[in-house]
Structure formats: structure tokens, C-alpha cells
Structure 1
């Protein structure tokens, strides 16, 4: 069936595009009106537009109203010529066409002979958008080449656009090349990325999949609000990148950029000797080469870049055992839960686990009296050799905070290789054929507390894009594209040279010897602190996506009608959170009394639990080792009419329809819930043999999708552009539109990760008198890598995530109203009010609070299914209001800049696709009904940055030949002192909000504001934790403190670059570059990473953004 659909779609596109392939998201449009000297419209004027670099020309004739339009132009500089009998030939020598932008170039003819030519030497049009309400920014080649970029990734420049909030450390794990961009009040996962017209958005997290080298990018555009109906499945921004193409002249470059610790300031939190600082060395080098294959016809371009980095990560904080604690002596240990400084209570875990032993002295078996260890010194007989070996892996404490007495700086490694090859060809009829192949290798090792905790994050992505553009008759332009994207990505342990579980003495079965790596060991401390030893994974993803797109533009009178369709087929493989050697949790509870545990009292000590080898929880992977494959076919249809109502007013009327069903299990291995009976139900395609060992009740014959498809996703768009003075220098624009989001796999694919397929099963250690010891855990079978499902999941499916069958597609409503005006000295000012509202957005809750009756049915059907069922839920809302302004100046007289300021306020009931309520556990019991309820609190969003100002600029210093001073310097002096260019990027923004939590990750009661005055904020006490109370908040109640009410540190950053270009003849240039990132070495802190209020520790800051770093480089080009 799926193959039949593919063939039908392919035939449809071939008919619409005349069997042609092309790019759309990487092109621009030229429009204009031709008039006579009296201002009357001139029809039948021959307009010829020529690409200056390639010599490729396109021709069109003005219509009865004097209007002309050329679509699907490759970005670049063009020459415009206009001819009509009885008038002089007019020429505009250069206009710039940008990606995804409509450029207006009006022509005024002069009476005379056609053999006479008039050249317009001052094209004052600065490319103001006079045709539609789309907001955004074009990042030009000149800006890309000159700006100092810390990492040299193009996505860093998206932050120069008004309405874009970057640098959200809360979403850093899901960022694109380390950068997150929340656009127009939408989450960072709601963006779409296009490279040379190919959709390169990863369908797992919604991030950028592949990124070309900076020197291979010609320009890119960020669209932030009210883009064309052509675009869908992106409630945030649309980022379109155009790579460079070959020209009629051979050209190329070689470059190298270098950094090391000799040029850098020490991190703020580093207190060791300078000579002992972690290693930092970085080299980024590569080259480009392009030119003609056949002049004026066929061109090629190639780039390759290699990035090698070894750099310290953030300061890692943890807690380490003291010398006495390593010996089992807890007589001087701290019990932070005591208000009077009492010592921790230590009990014998092999007795305290017996329910009969409630408290010392209580009636019970005789051995209960031996439960408490009065001396607080563990006898040697209780010390487990495996627990001692694990403790020996932990470094010695080096900080005076008892809860976080360990601070570690370690260097990670990062490799990033990028390749691009591109070929363009123009036929005699001016149609164009193009193809590009983009390949990237990203490999990053994130350091942990010890080397066994290091994690390797990788992504290998490839994109193939083929295209053909043509004109059909005088009034139709056709553009079709095909692209294929595939990638392998994920994370896994970095140190896999041996089986460390076996070396440490874990009892895991002899067959496990071939499994390399370290078990994941998590030790819980106080105030929410925890420390992880070992790694997790692998977590592997494989993506295969191919798509077809057909766009047609039909011009009829004053109507320019755009319509088309796009089809996308996705095949995604996912191997989720496999714990090859298990995961083990150690906490206070195992060396505490049973009564204290039942009442959520915290005593005992985690290192006492570790030394005795008694785990709190154990996690095991089960199932097979094959990735769960999911598939989806989606289609989008659109039509848009850009109606030129008059010379001054243009209306934009569009409608888009998106059909995007949920991902479906390709092999039928899928489980969901029967929402009537409360019974787990397996897909009708599930092999019955896989289910025969399950020992819980279930049904078969279900669907292989997590929810039902939505078929009514119609998204209208309406806008206007009004030129009050009937020129291209002033415009008022506005509009309203709806954009539906794409459902990524992360929120919908968990039905394949339950018993008996694959997943993680967690057990709580509560065995009377014989708790599980780390050297003798649950036995396993002979299946390598995984635990047998009949043992680890015989009476429950495991950790379960589900979606309701009714799962409406989330969407955002966008609106804006603003004005743009061209000013003197080549400047343009723009100011807009921009708003958005999100509806039916993703979040999380539990079945017991979403549908208590159904949850009770689930427990009645399977009493052993005691773990809460997590729901990936819709129904969360957001809102955004902003004032966005910018002032730009094109490069003239040695100066150009973009200054942008945004005031914004973003509210959300959930800021993430993966967590609800700003990361808080907002679930509690309703005292009246006794049912669980989930509080949805509309509070500050994670990306609520109230004030953000950015400034990027280029200034040619006025010294040297051809400049104001030193024009007569001799060549030697000029070589040293002349010809320098200063570039800068400034970012100033207010802090992000964060959430304060109480015990058990619950919201506390807020009894005063909590935000300290700026003069009182310190890294040891960023907010007033005494303004929050957990008194009376038990396991089933939340306090009144909403999420994201404490404001984090501001960001003030200045990046500078100083460039000098040396010329050798007319074609060869050598550019010398020096760049300083965070040039003034301001300590830009990141908010507290724990935010628990048990003590002042929760208000402490331990992280910072990059300190000052210097980079030196060169670029040789010809």
C-alpha cells in the first residue's frame, strides 16, 4: 500500500513539474513596475535580468499595468535592463536578490532612442519587504564572512534577528550544534531548517540535522512571523540556507583558525594553579573551490572543513566521601536534614528492611534491637567489596560545601567534519538544473566526574538535493524539488575498552564478559544533589527521509497565485536508553529505618548504603537489540494569492492543509492502551510468539500507532502590505495566520519500548532481611546485552509512556503589525508588534490525574502494574507578546550594521515537549475527591527573555591607502597599520527564569518574593531560599509557588574581530584575523542548576558561560 502511495505521488509531481526537480526554500523573487516620465504604467517592456557572477539571464515582459515579476531566482547580484521602442534603454547595474525575499526594483523610462542607454547609478532601494507581512532577517554573505563567531556555526547568527531568543541552557541538550533558538514565542523544537531547499530538520528532537561549513554559505534567512502558506509544520521559525555556487571565474580559499589555553582567561570557578588547568586546544581548517565547467552554463562548487577541539566543559559538581567515610566511619558526617546539627542515623540495612522492625525498641523479633549502629561506624562485616571499589573511583573532596564538596574541570573532545559538493546547470530556455550533496560528521565526548562517566554524542548526516526550475509560457513558473536525507545519531558510553562491571565485581553472569563499558551508578545526596558514575546507552537513532515538492506560480492580471504540494516519507529507527550493564541507585533510605522511609524522612547516608552494597533501585534493559522502526507519510497542500489591489496595497491570502499522521510501527511491535477497558493492547501485527511468556493480562488486535490521525488541519494565512507613499521606501505591514506543528518521534514512539520488545525495567529494593546486593543482583539469561523479559517484565510492561487516542495537532496562531522606513545614509528602521498563541501543545502528565477512572481499571486488570503511567499529553497553551525593532545599514563608506531590540513576554503551561509545568511535578491529590489532579499553571516560559539587544557591525578603520588617514603611507607602513577592519557582535539580555523546587521535586509554598536585589545576589546565594517553605507539603501536595518565578543572571557579551587583508596582484588575497570572544571577560553566570530549598546550597550558582577566548586565523583566497 505504501509503495502504491509513493508511485501515485511521484506521478503527480512529475506531471506538475514536467519531470523536473528544483529548490524552493533557497530562492528569491524580483518584482517591479515600469512607468513613463509622467508616472503612467508602461506595458510590453522587455525586462532582462542577468546574474552578474554566472552570466545567466532571464527575460520577462511587463503586463498591462506595467508590472513584472521573476520568481525562483538564485540569491545573488543581478543587472536589470529594460527596453521599449520609443524609450531609451534603462539599466540598473546591480540589485541584490536574497533568499526567500521579494525585492522590488521599479523602473522609470525616459523618452529617446532605444540605442541610447541610461544607467541608474544610485539604486536607493535597500530591499525593504513591500509585498507581504513576513518578518525576519537576511544574514548576508558579507556578514557571514566578517562576524566573529564562537564556533563558526551559522546558526549562532540567528540571534541577530528580532524575536529570536537564543542561549536557553534548559534546552541545551536538544540544541542544534549547541545553539537553541526559540522564535516568536514558540519552543526551540518548533523550527524548520532548509539547506539549498532540502528539509534538514531532525524528526526526533526538531533540531538542525546537518550544517554546512561557514565558508560554504552564501547567505541565509530567518523568517519569524507570518511566512507564506508554502511553509508548514513549523510553529516557530523557518531558517533557509543557500550555499555558494560556482561562477564564471575559478575561485577558492584555504583557511585555518586556532585557539589554545595560552590565549584564554581562566574559568571563574577554577581555583587550581594555572599550569594545572584542563587542556584546551582547537583547530578549524578547510577550503573551498569552485568555477565553471562550461562558461555561462554549468558550474561546480566544493568545500571541506575539519574541526578538532579539546576543551574543558562546565565545572562539574558532586559530593565525595571524606577519608573517614571511605573507612565506614560516619561519626563526623553531616546530616543536612537536621535543624540542630545532629549526626546522621546509620542502621544495618539487612535488618531495617524487615517490615517487622519499625523502630528501635518496638515489639518485634529480637534482631530488631540490632538495627541501629550507635557508633555510626560500619563493621567490616557489613562493608561490601564492590561498594568499596566503586567508592575508590570517586575523587577526594576539594570544596568546603558539605553537600557539594567536589568540583571537577575535565576536557571533552569534539570532532566535526563537513563536506559539500554542488553543481548548477542552465539550459537554453533559461531553465536550471541543480544538485547538491551535504555530508557532516559530528562527534562529541562530554566529560563526566571521572572518565568512566564520559558520554559520546554523535551525528552523521547526509543530504542529497536535486532540482529543476523552468518557466511555462509567459505566466507560469514551475519549481519542483526532490531531496533525500539520512542520518545516524545518538549517544553511548565513551570508555568501552573493557568490561568494568566484571572488573568491579558485579554479579552479572559469565556471558556478560563480551559487553564493554561501565554500569550506570547514581548516588543521591542532599538537596536534590546526585552524582553519576558510569554511562548509559546506547541511545541510537537512524533517520531516512525523502521528499518531493512542487511549487507553481501563475500570474493573472493583478493576482500572483502560488500553489503546490509537498510530500514526505519518513523511516525512523530508534534504540532507546539501553542499559547494557544495568543502572543502580544508592540513597539514604537503605541505611535508614523502615518507618522513616515510609514517612519520607531522610536520615542514613548514601555512602553508607554504597559501602554496604545495598541498592535503592535497580534498572535492567530487556528485549532484543534491534532498533524499533517507525514510518510516516505526510502531505501538505497550499494555495496563496498575492493580490495587488492597487499600486499601494497588496493583500496576501493563503490557505494550507497538512495531513501528518502519527508515526506507525513498521514491524508491528507496538503496545498502547484500550481506553475503554483499561487493558494494555498489542498491535494486530505483533508476533504472538513474543507475547507467550508475559504474565500480565493484555489484549491483541490493536493499532500500531499511538493516536488517531487528525484530518482537519487547515491553516489560513491573511496579510497585507501598504506603501503609503507609493514607493519602495516606506511600508506598513500586518496579518494573521495559523501554523500546525510537526509531531516528533520523541513524544509519540514509546509504544515500542515496553515488554516484551525493548526497554528499561526498574525495581525498588524492599526485600525483607535480604536486600539486593550489588554483587548479587537479579540473575539473567544467556541473551547478550539484555535481560530476559520473562524475568524482568513478567508481570508488568515496564516504564510506560502513552498518548491518548484523541491527540489534536498542536498549532500556533501568529499575528503582527509594523512599519518599515528607509532613512538617510543607507539605513532602514523597522518596528513591529508581534504576538502568538500556542494551542494543544505537547506536555506530560499521568493517567491517574488525566483519567482516574481509567487508571483504576488498569490497576484492576493488572494489580502488579503499580508504576504511574506517563502520558504524552496535548492541551497545553502558550502566549507571547512583543515589541520588535531593528535598525540596519547596508555596507557603504566602510560601515554596516544590524541593531535589534526585542521586548517580549512569553507565558506557557509547559515549555517543553518532554516535561510539563516548567519541569515541576505539579501532580497532587484532590482532598475532596481523593483523586490525583494535575495543575496546569500558566507562568513564565523557560525562554521568557524580557529584554534582548543585539548589535553586529563592520567598520573599516580610517587608516591606510584609500582611506581618510594615511593615504600616502609607503607600502611597508601601510602593510602594518593600514587596511584594518573592526567587526563586532554585542548581546545584552535579561536573565531567564527558573523554577524553585522543594522535597520530592514538588513546588514549595512561596511566602515572599524570593528574588534578591541585584546588589545582594552572589554565586553562593543567588535567591532568597527562605522565601520558600515545604512545611506541610507531603508526598501528595504541592505548594503555591508557580514555575519560573526566580530570574537568572543577565547576559552581557562582546565579541570583537580585527581583520587585515593583503592583496597579491588582482586575484590573490590573504586575510589575517584576530578575534576575541567575551572580550571583556565578563562572568556570565548560568542560573542555579539544582534550585532546591532544603538549604542555601540550592541557591548556589556553579556554572558560567564561556570566559574570554582569543582566536587567530588566516584565509587565503583567489
Structure 2
């Protein structure tokens, strides 16, 4: 007992990470005689049928027995007692994290007499309030899965959302966990493989590794888990359990093939008259499991999967026409068929009729050759010629092409299980994957964003588990894990550089990456990619979970720690942006929707923004600790309470060489005394005595309560409540040790008056990193980064109520409610704390008038270096800085979610198993998604001084969602209902047929509008248009060419913030209507060998799953849908498997 007490005390001093939780199951029940009276001191044994591992215990005085921390699998249960016949039940299937209940009724007689009970599933969850769905190994192996990722099966249950990616079709494992559960954002879902975290913990919590479906035993989706052992999530957890070896050899060999000859063409290609893109994919491999030393119960499992893919590379973009490339814009029109007049930015002069400046239009809308910038001309020449007429008015989308790129990957799984004795069992797994994405296809022009076209992603994960049973009342489980991921990306112009387009060699020599700079012309395709990425992520975790049986109480407590390390990062060439504004008129405007053209601006060399980044390659670490105690108190045979308490500690990140800095908002800045102005705010640097990016929140207590009441043998009522603290992501800012030199293409950054032209963008050179040597004077005149020092961690309050009813021995129906409230949630998007206060917008054009610069001569370089600066610069809270960027992990957001869920599940019987679920829900928040561009547009706050106006539907709001997944064996052939006496030859034709599939319907996710920002120069964020109270946003006959009523929106008045809600209920993307179906034919050439042919069709009906409409107000394609989501057209996959 003294040892147990010490263990308990130690446990409460440490922690158990949500992402590193036990995946074991438990089984409990009451042993009674024929009269219903409890029988004490009954010897109860449980044996794993695969490994022969056996445990035994004795019933308590009230007849209760309990086995905890059992590996998922199939078991045999035996009960023996003098005066009673021996009870035996085989085929008891226990799932991950399941709290099973099985009562035993003993029959009078001799112990030598046996009562064998047929296998029965433990369907009703009478021991907990957790809401979960488990896909068995048979369903995992039978359902069609494009790319054969087990995480794609998560979408086989209603209510799983992925607003940024949909069901991921990416070959890269790190993208397979980008979904949300139970109203949570994608990064708030706990991802476990064999009970150990499989997420990197980086900025978007990418997946380290995804095993092959043939190496998976089961997939479990937990919407709400009220056990205190789970944390560091929004309440949702996805758990994947891998297969282990057994006492008999078993294995699989498989080969799956996809070829474009079997596929339908894409909707966009059919519309554009393009041929079906070439595509080939081959996924092949196998696995083998069995005994290493059978008598010692030592087993192994090994699996391999390879992928070789020729990927379609489709490109539909807007390129400059031959006339535009020469400087002739006489045929360049706006969507309303008016000429987009090009104005000369070098003709600026004061507006005689009001504020601002006016410009002269170019005669004939043609730029004279004498004004063409040589670098701009060479940059435009990098574009290929358009090959498609495009829009009949604007010419948009005038380039369409398709080709084939290359992807290859290999992954292996190795697992050892050892049941050393009744007291000690061990398991270990090593998984490794390699992936290489090759060069894009030659002759296909593509527009790149932040992700490079060439990438490599080596990774691995190791796990170790040990279960120790000191006696029948104690179980100690130890888990440890280590994961590593190296993400590499490279531009396809690597090895070329800016001298190719005429940039000065002296400037190009200062860049860190030899690529052509990345160029962003508004409304046209981007050019090149500037980043070269080499990022390494490492996750180490360890945990101890201890269970103690005390009468009707099953007490569980544990602790763990997790370390998330990241080293390396991205290096850059240079970025240049060009907009319509610099060639707009007659009154010059920073943003314009009717005049000017970005290609004209590029040809003139007059840009809108840009920068050269020289980031510090940091070595960061984030530590997490937690501790929990949980009781499962079986008050009566019908009523079970599960009270628990968890304590989380999420430390702020540290950097190995103490290179973090932070913005202090209230410190007096020494520049103020030098210029005679009261200035506050400046960068402070962390050191050995204060290494964390933010102060640790020591108050994260998370109470939990679950109640389960078994109304009858067939019905149970359950309810639960819990507080959860999602993972706090992000690292820290290294301003000072890194530098960003902004391109200043206009005087004072006014976006109107040309200054540093494209031909010589950085006449003063680049800003070198200076470290902490300048103290509070660091980065004056430029940008500063900020992580909020006082950093309370966001939390979710989750609650649910549901009723389960057993319709039959194999079928169960459930209906329930689930809800949550999020508080202090991370905003999900960054914003500028140096935004002009909204009340100053009333000054109008006076804000852009140039005034004397008090910082002249003291700030060198950047937008605050000139003799004069725009008036708005001096009205900001921190006028000595350009921007003060607040991290997207800043706490302060709120969210709410309410859902009704109906679920019907049938375990395999009579040839059929299925899982059907329907959800009706609503999600509201004022926070941005942590994923890029949810809803088809960049998330952001239009006014960082008033975030309350952003409260609207969430990006993951999905009112109606229905999913059904099924596996059905046709009742034909030998041993079946029909044709049971068929001969072998006839059975080879008629027997062994099977069909499986997943069918999904939903109402579509809400989209986000954007509008050209006339106030972005004042530090305001992504802007929205105005929405009128007149015309309905919806249209009667919705089509891709008119997805919504564009006339319901208008541009905000000058110096005003748009009033459209962040997301509108009336404006949604197309709902999903998709059926993935597989037809399987099984042969048995020998008793222990099964050969299976598979034909799988994804999007069987070839229904176009339209992507987001263009919601950028002022765009030439505003209100139109130009393509489909990654569900794609109908794809057919053929497969051959041999199981033995």
C-alpha cells in the first residue's frame, strides 16, 4: 500500500497529455447465481485469443469483476466457482478505449461441467458517457478509400468537417488530419496511433504518420470523451490502433491501380474543351504477422506499402494577353464591359477639385515604350501565351492546361508484441515513411502560393508500451513515443535567380535562395516561388496510467510529459506585388475596381508592396505536462458515475539560443525623448531568466463528469460534462535575429507616389539582422512581432445527452445532443496592433496628406525614413513602427456549437454491417480558422479594434450532414442462403460477391466575402463588402456562372469598413452529394487463402462537387464557380488482394 500511495503522489505532480493517451479497453460485470444474487470470490479469467495472454481476478463481495487496460482485440472469458458449472464465453470483441460490461449468470453444477455461451457484441455503452463511433477491422479493410488512408474513414461519420481541404486527397501524410470533430477546429482534434500522439504540434498540428489501412485494426472517432485521461483537445479524439501478430501466421499482399482511362473527365476540362488529364497510380505492398517464439508468446507484425503516382497537373489561370505584354491595354475590359483605363503614375499632381492627386490617362490606353521598366518587361515575358479565349468580356481564365506530375512514397510498419508473463506484457512499433514530389510537368504553367512545387517528407514514429500487474487489483501501463518529420520544399526555379529578369546583381547576391523572385500581380497568375524550406519537427512523449480496483470503484490516475521541438525553417528569395492602384485614376486610389491594371503597373515598374525576408532558423521547444484522476463508480448495477479531474500545464515555447523577442506595449521608447514625442512600445528580448514566449497559465483545471443509467437490458441513458484545453500552438517571434526589408515602391507607403522602381527595388540595400544589440530601438520604422505575454489558455466546455437502444443483438440506435462553448480561444488569424483607430477614418483624404516627419534622420530605411510621411502614420498608437503583428495564437475568441445526432449501427450479421448517422447542427464563432483560406478566402479581422463585429457562422458550420457506410455479403454461393450446394466451379462465378461503400450528403459550408481594401494602408485587415438589405443574396436558378446575386453587394464607402457578416447563411458552397462504392469478389483456392478482386468507384455518379465560388468583390469572376473540390470526377480503382 505504501508503494501505491507513493505512486499516486508522484502521478499528481506530473501530467498526461491528451495527445498521448492510453488506447486500451476495460471489461467489467457482476457474477450472479440463478436467483440473481451476487457470488463473491469467483475466479474470472480473460484470455486474448490472438496471443493467448491471460489474466485472472476474483469477484468482490458484491460479485463485481473488472479487467482494465486490455489491448483491443478478441477475448475469451471464463468464470469458475465451487458448486457452479464453469462459464465460458468466446469471441468478446473489445475496442480501443471501450468500457465494456458483461454480466455472468452461473448455473448450479460441477466445475468440470462447462456452459459455453455464443459470442455476443457489447453494443450498449453502460459504463461511460463518451460519444464515439468505431470502425472495425472488417469495415476498415472493406470500405473504398482513395489513397488508402485510415484517416479518410473519419469522414464515414456525420459532422466531421474540413473547411480548408475537404476529404484530403494529398499524398502527404501531414494533410490527412486536417478535419474537425464535434464543432471543433481542425487543430483541436486529438490524433492518436496506438495511444501515442501522431501530431507534430507545429503551427497547424500536421500528422507525422498515417499507416496503411491493411496495417490497421480499427479506427475510432470520439466526439466527446469525458474521461479525465483525455485532454489537450477540444474534446474530440481520433484513435487508430495498428495490427499486431498472433499465434498463427497471417498476411496480405495487395496491388491497387488507378488509371485515367477508367476515370471521367473533370467538369472544368469538359467545360473548357480540354482532354481528360493523364493519371496513373499504383499502390502495392503487403504484410505478415505471426509468432517469433510461440511458446514464449512473442509475436511480430510487419507491413509495407509503396505508391507511384503520375498526378494530373491542371491549370486554369489568367495570363496577360499578347497586347498587354507589349503595353497595349486598348482591349482590356472590366466585368461591366467598360474599358479599364490605364493612368500614368508619373503624372501625379494635386487634385484641383478636392483631396488627393490626379493622373493623366495614357493615350489610346497604351504605355509608351520609353516608360517601360526593363525588369518588368522581362518578368512579364516569363508568362506563356494564353491558349484559351477566356471570359468573353474580361478575358479572365484565358489559360488552361493539364499534364502529369510525379509523386512517390514508401512506408513500413514493424510491431512486436510480447506477453512475457501474466504480470508483464510489452509492445513496440516502428513506422517510417518517405515521400518525394517531383518536378511539375513541362509546359504547364502553374500559379504557386506559399507551398513549393518540389517537396520531400521523410518521417518516422516509434512507440513502446509496457503493462504491469502487481496483483489482481493494480494495473500499471507505461507508454512512450518518439516522432520525427523533415519537411522540405523547393521552387522549380531553384538555380536560377533574379538576374535573369534584370534585377541588379548586387541586390540578388544578398538573397538567401537562388530562385527567380515570387511575383504577385493582382488578378493574374503568380510567377515563381521564393521559399526554400527545410523544417524538422520532433515529438517525444511518455505517460503512465495506473488503475486500482476498490470494490465498486475503478480508480484511474496518470501522468505524462510531451516535448515538441522544431528546428530549421524557410529561407527566401524576394517577393514583389503589383496592383491596379498604381495605375488607377483619374483620382489616384490605392485600390481600384474600375481603372488600372496590375500588369500595366509591372511593366511600368511601380509596385504595391513586397519584401525580402531573412528569417532566423530557430530551434524551439514546447513542453506540456498534465495529471489526472478518474473514478468509475458503479453505484448500482444500473447506475455508473465517472467523476474526474485533470490538470494541464502548457509551457510557453523556448528557443535554444534565446533568440526570442516580444513587443512590450507600455514601455517608454527612447526614440520619444530624442524627437520630443511621447512614444511607447518596443521590442524586449528574452534571456536565460525569462526564456518563454509567454507566461505560463497555471490555472488549467479541467473537471469532468459522466453519468450512465441503464434503464433496461436494451436501453441506456447517458450525460456528461467536461472542460477541455486545446493544444496551444505557435512558437515565438525572433525580430532582431531575423529581418524583413520592405520594398518601398511608393513614397511613405502611400500606394500612390512612385518611389523605388522594379529596376532597382532596394537602392539602400537590405537590412541585416542585428540581434538584441539595439534593444528598444530594434526595427524602428519597420515591423515588430508580438506574442501576448499574459496568455490565458483557451478552453471548451463540452456537454452531451444521449439515449442508446438495442434494436437487436447486432443493431443499436442512438439519438442525442452535443454542445460546447469556447472561451478565450486562439483567434486563429494574426492582426496588426498598429492599426489606425477607426474614429480617425472620419478625417478622410487628410489621412494621406504628407506632413513633416519627426523621425527623419533617426529612422533609416522603410516607410518612415523620408522627410515627409502620410499624416495617418503619426496618428497610430505606435507611430515609430510600421506594423505590430499580433500572433494568430492570441487568446480571446469565443465559439458555440449545438448539434443533434442520430446514429444507427449494425454489427456484422446476416451478411450485413453498416453505420448510418445524421447530424443537425449550428456553429458560431468570432475566431478565424487555423487552416488557410477556409470558405474560399483568407480569414482575417477587418478591424482589430472591434472583433465583436466578426461574430457569425463558423467556417465549419454544417447544418445538415448524413453519412452511411456499409459492407454487404451477397447471400449466394456455397454455405450461403442461396446456392449452398453449388459445385466449386459454379461457386467461383456466383459466390463470394460483396459490396461496400460510403454515401455522404451535406448542405455545404458558408463562404467568406472579401473586398478591395481602401483602408489597408492604415493597418486594417481583410475587408468585406457591404451587403444590401434589398436584393436577396440567393438566386432562384443557381449555377456555376451565377452562384449568388452579385448585385446584393457593393463596395464600402471610402474610409469605411464593410458591413457584410463574416459568413452568410444564405451564401454557401455546394453541398456534398457523393457515393464511393466498391464491388468485391472473393475466391478461396485453399481453405486458408482468400483471393479478392476489387473494383472501387469514387464519386460513382460523377456528380460535380463544386468548389468555392469567387467571393472577391470586384474580381472579374465574382460570383462564379470555376472548378470542383478535391472529390473530383468519378475515379475508378482496381485492386487485387491475397489474404492468408
TM-score for the superposition, normalised by structure 1: 0.88
- Matched with 1:846 is 832
3-state SS, counterpart of residue 138 of structure 1: strand
3-state SS, counterpart of residue 554 of structure 2: strand
Q: 1:680 to 1:909 in 2, by over 3 A?
A: farther
- Matched with 1:929 is none
Distance in 2 (CA, whole Å) between partners of 1:265 and 1:207 is 32
Is 2:1138 aligned against 1:1116?
yes
Is 2:692 aligned against 1:705?
yes
Q: 1:515 to 1:675 in 2, by over 3 A?
A: closer
Please show how residues 1011-1030 of structure 1 align to structure 2 within 5 Å. 1016-1030=1037-1051
Q: What does the per-residue CA deviation read over 1:969-1004, in whole Å, with 9 as the maximum and x for residues that have no partner?
A: 333332233211011110111111112233324222
- Matched with 2:811 is 827
Is 2:1113 aligned against 1:1092?
yes
Please show how residues 38-187 of structure 1 align to structure 2 within 5 Å. 38-121=35-118, 123-166=119-162, 168-169=164-165, 176-178=174-176, 180-187=178-185
Q: What does the per-residue CA deviation read over 1:780-830, in whole Å, with 9 as the maximum and x for residues that have no partner?
A: 87999999999xx98547444423222210111110111111112621111
3-state SS, counterpart of residue 231 of structure 2: coil
- Matched with 1:946 is 959
Q: What does the per-residue CA deviation read over 1:614-638, in whole Å, with 9 as the maximum and x for residues that have no partner?
A: 33223102255xx212222221000
Contact 1:560 1:642 in 2 (8 A): yes
Higher deviation after alignment, 158-167 or 427-436: 158-167
Higher deviation after alignment, 95-104 or 1084-1093: 1084-1093
- Matched with 1:325 is 324
Contact 1:859 1:866 in 2 (8 A): no
3-state SS, counterpart of residue 37 of structure 1: coil
3-state SS, counterpart of residue 1102 of structure 2: coil
Is 2:1045 aligned against 1:1052?
no
Distance in 1 (CA, whole Å) between partners of 2:954 and 2:717 is 30
Tell me by how many angstroms 1:570 deviates. 2.6
Is 2:281 aligned against 1:282?
yes
Q: What does the per-residue CA deviation read over 1:479-537, in whole Å, with 9 as the maximum and x for residues that have no partner?
A: 111211222125432442x3142323222437479943331010103xxxx42111131
Q: 1:852 to 1:362 in 2, by over 3 A?
A: closer
Q: 1:334 to 1:639 in 2, by over 3 A?
A: same
Tell me by how many angstroms 1:1048 deviates. 1.7
Contact 1:845 1:934 in 2 (8 A): no
Distance in 2 (CA, whole Å) between partners of 1:264 and 1:424 is 42
Is 2:552 aligned against 1:558?
yes
Q: 1:851 to 1:84 in 2, by over 3 A?
A: farther
Contact 1:511 1:782 in 2 (8 A): no
Is 2:383 aligned against 1:394?
yes
Please show how residues 1064-1075 of structure 1 align to structure 2 within 5 Å. 1064-1075=1085-1096
Q: 1:668 to 1:718 in 2, by over 3 A?
A: same
Which of 691, 701, 716 is the matching residue for 1:714?
701
Tell me by how many angstroms 1:601 deviates. 7.2
Q: What does the per-residue CA deviation read over 1:586-626, in whole Å, with 9 as the maximum and x for residues that have no partner?
A: 222333359413686752222222223333223102255xx
3-state SS, counterpart of residue 588 of structure 2: helix
- Matched with 2:922 is 905
Is 2:738 aligned against 1:757?
yes
Please show how residues 281-360 of structure 1 align to structure 2 within 5 Å. 281-296=280-295, 297-312=297-312, 316-336=315-335, 341-349=337-345, 351-352=346-347, 357-358=349-350
Which of 1048, 1059, 1067 is the matching residue for 1:1039?
1059
Is 2:482 aligned against 1:493?
no
Q: 1:292 to 1:785 in 2, by over 3 A?
A: farther
Contact 1:921 1:1003 in 2 (8 A): no
Contact 2:928 2:940 in 1 (8 A): no
Distance in 1 (CA, whole Å) between partners of 2:699 and 2:13 is 27
Q: What does the per-residue CA deviation read over 1:697-718, in whole Å, with 9 as the maximum and x for residues that have no partner?
A: 7555674433211001000001
Is 2:787 aligned against 1:806?
no
- Matched with 2:1010 is 997
3-state SS, counterpart of residue 1083 of structure 1: coil
Q: What does the per-residue CA deviation read over 1:22-51, in whole Å, with 9 as the maximum and x for residues that have no partner?
A: 995222111111111111111111111111
- Matched with 2:567 is 573
Which of 461, 475, 478 is the matching residue for 2:476?
478
Higher deviation after alignment, 981-990 or 800-809: 800-809
Q: 1:492 to 1:467 in 2, by over 3 A?
A: same
TM-score for the superposition, normalised by structure 2: 0.86
Q: 1:679 to 1:83 in 2, by over 3 A?
A: farther
- Matched with 1:520 is 518
Distance in 2 (CA, whole Å) between partners of 1:835 and 1:62 is 39
Higher deviation after alignment, 502-511 or 184-193: 502-511
Higher deviation after alignment, 92-101 or 220-229: 220-229
- Matched with 1:686 is none
3-state SS, counterpart of residue 201 of structure 1: coil
Tell me by how many angstroms 1:848 deviates. 4.2
Tell me by how many angstroms 1:266 deviates. 0.3
Which of 336, 351, 372 is the matching residue for 1:383?
372
Contact 1:508 1:777 in 2 (8 A): no
Q: 1:108 to 1:362 in 2, by over 3 A?
A: closer
Distance in 2 (CA, whole Å) between partners of 1:238 and 1:635 is 18
Distance in 1 (CA, whole Å) between partners of 2:37 and 2:709 is 20
- Matched with 1:413 is 406
Residue ranges of structure 1 left out of the alignment (5+ in a row): 1-7, 682-695, 926-931
3-state SS, counterpart of residue 311 of structure 1: strand
Distance in 2 (CA, whole Å) between partners of 1:862 and 1:975 is 80
Higher deviation after alignment, 285-294 or 965-974: 965-974
- Matched with 1:688 is none
Q: 1:698 to 1:1013 in 2, by over 3 A?
A: closer
3-state SS, counterpart of residue 676 of structure 1: strand
- Matched with 1:456 is 454
Q: 1:1012 to 1:33 in 2, by over 3 A?
A: same
Contact 1:622 1:787 in 2 (8 A): no
Contact 2:54 2:422 in 1 (8 A): no
Tell me by how many angstroms 1:16 deviates. 11
Distance in 2 (CA, whole Å) between partners of 1:846 and 1:14 is 41
Which of 716, 720, 723 is the matching residue for 2:710?
723
Q: What does the per-residue CA deviation read over 1:319-350, in whole Å, with 9 as the maximum and x for residues that have no partner?
A: 222222222211222145xx6x443333344x
Distance in 2 (CA, whole Å) between partners of 1:446 and 1:61 is 65
Which of 985, 988, 993 is the matching residue for 1:980?
993
Q: What does the per-residue CA deviation read over 1:76-128, in whole Å, with 9 as the maximum and x for residues that have no partner?
A: 1111111111111111021001111112121110000111111112x444332
Contact 2:708 2:716 in 1 (8 A): yes
Contact 2:200 2:207 in 1 (8 A): yes
Distance in 2 (CA, whole Å) between partners of 1:1058 and 1:128 is 31
Distance in 2 (CA, whole Å) between partners of 1:590 and 1:856 is 20
Q: 1:771 to 1:127 in 2, by over 3 A?
A: same
- Matched with 2:416 is 423
Distance in 1 (CA, whole Å) between partners of 2:276 and 2:795 is 48
Contact 1:622 1:789 in 2 (8 A): no
Contact 1:45 1:61 in 2 (8 A): yes
Residue ranges of structure 2 left out of the alignment (5+ in a row): 1-5, 672-680, 840-870, 1014-1021
Contact 2:1109 2:1119 in 1 (8 A): yes
Tell me by how many angstroms 1:1015 deviates. 5.0
Contact 1:847 1:868 in 2 (8 A): yes
- Matched with 1:1062 is 1083
Is 2:980 aligned against 1:967?
yes
Let me know the Cα RMSD of the aligned residues: 3.7
Give the count of matched residue pairs. Answer: 1057
3-state SS, counterpart of residue 999 of structure 1: coil
Tell me by how many angstroms 1:75 deviates. 1.0
- Matched with 2:536 is 542
